Amino acid sequence: MRGGLGQANTIFIDEADTYGLADLHQLRGRVGRSHHRAWCYLLVDEAARLTSTAAKRLRAIQEFSSMGAGFSLAMRDLEIRGAGNLLGTQQGGHIATVGYEPYCQLLEQAVRGLKALPPAEPPPVTIDLPGEAWLPRDYCSDFRTKNDIYRRLSRAREAAQVDELARELADRFGQPPEEARQLLDFAHLRCRATACGPFRGDIL
């Protein structure tokens, strides 16, 4: 390193494959401040045979190198290590197997079960129509914000909740593009179909 600890702009991490992803992220953050560019070198023994998990960690720390990448790294670490039993001590399984949103639903159900609360019923209607329905990166680029919006849309039970979210999107990011408008339209349709209740007639 050059200069004092507060002025260091370069760090070498020896045997980087033996560190956890959180440790690598913390160490990397020790150099470089504000507008000062910094360098982090990850050193691995040539003779060492990287495990699959270690290789994934090194690729992740290389991929997520921008400011504010902590949440993305935490999500990737959860995918690599596995979320484990939702409320138990044994660890096993991977969040990537079911996806982020279903995992959150499973977690909510497990918590409600421990509290002896009735299960939170998921929306009984699934919309599967052709068309482009998502939040484009140039409209909403923050990964955490985008996930939160998707989660709120998936849990909306009434059209008024979708309208409120649409106003919030317009206020925060401007008028939504076609893909985002269609995403809101699909959410509207799902809420209205849910309000009709289950179909009780004969299926022809």
List, for residues 4-13, the tens digit of each pLDDT value: 455 778 889 8
Dump pLDDT digits (tens) for 145-204: 888 898 888 888 889 999 999 999 999 999 999 999 999 999 999 888 877 765 544 443
pLDDT of residue 94 exceeding 60: no
CA distance 16 to 27: 11
List where CATH 3.40.50.300 sits in the chain: 9-81
Nearest to 137 by CA among 179, 109, 168: 179
Estimate to the nearest angstrom the gap between the alpha carbon of 14 and the chain centroid: 30
**Average pLDDT in the chain:** 77
Q: What's the CATH architecture for 9-81?
A: 3-Layer(aba) Sandwich (3.40)
Mean pLDDT of 104-119: 75
Containing 95, the helix (H) or strand (E) segment is helix 95-98
pLDDT of residue 53 exceeding 50: yes
Collapsing DSSP states into helix, strand and coil, what is residue 12? strand
> Rounded to 5 degrees, what angle do the CA atoms 160, 141, 19 make?
120
| Cβ-contact 73, 64 below 8 angstroms | yes
